[in-house]
Amino acid sequence: MRFRLSVVLFAMLGGVWLLWVSREPPKPRTAIRETSQTQAGSVPRSFRDALLEEARTLAPDVAERIRQEVKAGGRDPQRRALLMAWLWHQGGPGSVLQRAEHLVWLIAHEPASEFLDWPPAWFSPGELGPVRMEEILAAWRSAVREHPDDPRPAWLAAKWFERHEERYFVEFLKASLEADPGFGPAVGALAEWCVRQLALQSPAASEARKLLETSLNPEIQIQAAQRFHQLAEEAEDSHPQRNVWRQEARRCYARARRIEPNLREEDVFSRAGRGANASLAGAPYASPEVQVMLNRGRRQMIRLPVEAFPDLPQAVAAALKRMGCAIPQAFESPMRRRAHNVIRGRFFRAERDSWAVLCSVRDTVRLLVFRDESDENPETLQGGLESACMQTTGADSAGFSWAITVADEALIRRYNSALKGPPLPPLEHEGIESHFLGKASVILYWHNGRWLRLQGAD
Q: Where are the beta strands (DSSP E) in 38-164?
A: none
pLDDT at 177: 98
Per residue in 278-326, pLDDT (tens digit) is 444 444 566 889 999 999 999 999 999 999 999 999 999 999 999 999 9
Model confidence at 333: pLDDT above 90: no
Judge whether residue 271 has pLDDT over 80. no
Question: Which residues make Cβ contacts (< 8 Å) with residue 115, sequence separation at least 6?
Answer: 48, 77, 80, 81, 84, 106, 121
Question: Is the Cβ–Cβ distance between 211 and 356 less than 8 Å?
Answer: no
Give the span between the Cα atoms of 428 and 164, in whole angstroms. 64
Question: Which of 328, 349, 377 lies closest to 445, judged by CA?
Answer: 349
CA proximity to 340, closest of 405, 388, 385? 405
End-to-end CA distance of the chain: 58
Pairing of strands 397-400, 402-407: unpaired
pLDDT at 120 over 60: yes
Buried b / exposed e over 7-20, threshold 16 CB at 10 Å, is: eebbeebeeebeeb
- Over the chain, what is the mean pLDDT? 87
pLDDT one-digit tens code per residue, 376-422 = 999 999 999 999 999 999 888 999 999 999 999 999 999 999 999 89
For 337-369, the pLDDT digits (tens) are 679 999 999 999 999 999 999 999 999 999 999
pTM: 0.85
Determine the pLDDT at residue 85.
96
Q: Which of 369, 453, 443 is nearest to 412 (CA)?
A: 443
Side-chain half-sphere of 25: how many Cα atoms within 13 Å?
26
CB contact at 8 A, 376 and 319: yes
For residue 43, CA distances in Å to 35, 37, 56 come to 11, 11, 20
In this prediction, residue 284 carries a pLDDT of: 55
Q: Which of 286, 289, 265 has the alpha carbon at shortest distance from 277?
A: 265
Of 9-23, 96-110, 189-203, 302-316, least confident by mean pLDDT is 9-23
Select from 242, 230, 244 the least CA-distant residue to 273: 230
Cα 153 to Cα 47, 118, 262, 293: the distances in Å are 20, 14, 33, 16
Q: What is the pLDDT of residues 129-164, one digit of tens each?
A: 999 999 999 999 999 999 999 999 999 999 999 999
Tell me what the mean pLDDT of segment 221-232 comes to. 96
